[in-house]
Amino acid sequence: MQTLFIRGPAVTIRMVLLVIASITLMTVDHRWNSLEIVRSTLSSVVYPLQYTIDLPIQFYYWADEVLSTKRTLLEKNREFEARHLENRVQLQKLDIIEKENDRLRRLLGATPKTTERLLIAEIINVDVDPYRQLIVLNKGGNHDVYQGQPIIDAHGIMGQVVHVNPLSSTAMLITDASHAIPVQIDRTGLRANAFGTGKIDQLELLHLPHNADIETGDMLITSGLGGVFPPNYPVAAITRVERTAGEPFATIEATPLAQLDKSREVLLVWRNIPQPVILHTEDNKEKAASSETEATATDSGTADTTTETDDEKPQESNKPAAEEDNSE
């Protein structure tokens, strides 16, 4: 039955309750970031819509593939083969270098380098808040995507996953105004933080003094500090360095190397955190000790052990690790 006059107070009370609920939700979401369950539940309602919106665009790509002629395909194939060969040749060299590096690291007793696992995800073409740099990916919790997972493309770091839903996930690009990424200048090793500016093609390096050794054209790579991004991935190239007298810090701008607004596919990265070094069977004792120090000691502790082994190395560089054990 339709009533002509709606009971006023009931509606008002409901409104007040809902406003309070909204404010509570916002506070909880912002302060404790603990509403991921709510978010992923609601997103399963939204996902079909996002999927539907994306369908025509996927259809376009599909049609483009299906309708391309044999000749273009052949041409493409030939081009890829050539590039593949080139890459293979370069990889051979890299392979040897990596093996050598591994061996050297083992000699030094340093932890092995982290290895990474990759998965290709496609960007779902939907718009999000126009004032933030977010993208929606078609891989989610069902594919082991986790919050804070780095995403990259063929050219460099793109960003990190901020919300994980069962079938999709939302990622923040490095240029988002609330994003910062620890970087390092690959020429000098100078460490800094690259902050997003909200513009898709611009990063900012804040709090670097005037005398910092940094030039236009320098490459920024991830430093691996902070534990979110894997080290040594390219991030950006410096485009502008301005040292205004009277300002406490230099103004430094950079352009991301990843194609943030053009990529269709991105790579999700899983880092395999290496186990403490396992050298040889004989030096179990040392292994236990070193893993203990790694687990408990502070930076200075680990630094001590490495310098120790460092000092010993030159004299007995060819001897196996058992010698090392004895000398300790």
Partner 1 sequence: MSKTLRVGLITVIAAFMLAIMPLPDWAVEFRPDWVTLVLIYWVLAFPSYIGVGMAWLAGLLLDVSYGTLIGQHAIGMVLVIYVVHIQHQLLRVASLLQQAIVIFFLLLIKQLLTLWVDGMLGREPDNWLYFMPTITSTILWPWLYLILRDLQRKFSKVKPYQY
Residue 42 beta carbon to partner 1: minimum distance, rounded to whole angstroms: 4
Nearer to partner 1, 22 or 72 (CB): 22
C-alpha span between 218 and 208 (Å, rounded): 15
Residue 37 beta carbon to partner 1: minimum distance, rounded to whole angstroms: 11
Give the one residue of 35, 219, 225, 321 binding partner 1; rule: CB under 8 A.
35
B/e letters for 210-225, b = 16+ CB within 10 Å, e = fewer, are: eebebeeebbbbbbbe
Question: Considering only 27-35, 95-103, 226-234, 250-258, which stretch makes contact with partner 1 by CB under 8 A?
Answer: 27-35
Query: Is residue 39 at the binding interface for partner 1, with CB under 8 A as the rule?
Result: yes
Residue 1 beta carbon to partner 1: minimum distance, rounded to whole angstroms: 8
Residue 17 beta carbon to partner 1: minimum distance, rounded to whole angstroms: 9
The single-letter DSSP state of residue 328 is: -
Please count the CA atoms within 13 angstroms of the CA of 33 that sit on its side-chain side: 5
Contact 194, 217 (CB under 8 A): no
Nearer to partner 1, 32 or 66 (CB): 32
Query: Is residue 177 at the binding interface for partner 1, with CB under 8 A as the rule?
Result: yes
Torsion-angle region of residue 228: left (phi > 0), alpha (psi -120 to 50) or beta?
alpha
Contact 173, 158 (CB under 8 A): yes
Query: Is residue 147 at the binding interface for partner 1, with CB under 8 A as the rule?
Result: no
Query: Is residue 128 at the binding interface for partner 1, with CB under 8 A as the rule?
Result: yes
Helix 284-296 with 299-312: angle, nearest 10 deg: 150
Please count the CA atoms within 13 angstroms of the CA of 226 that sit on its side-chain side: 20
Give the one residue of 43, 184, 222, 223 binding partner 1; rule: CB under 8 A.
43
For residue 147 the two structure tokens come to 């919050």
Residue 142 beta carbon to partner 1: minimum distance, rounded to whole angstroms: 18
Query: Is residue 198 at the binding interface for partner 1, with CB under 8 A as the rule?
Result: yes
Nearer to partner 1, 44 or 77 (CB): 44
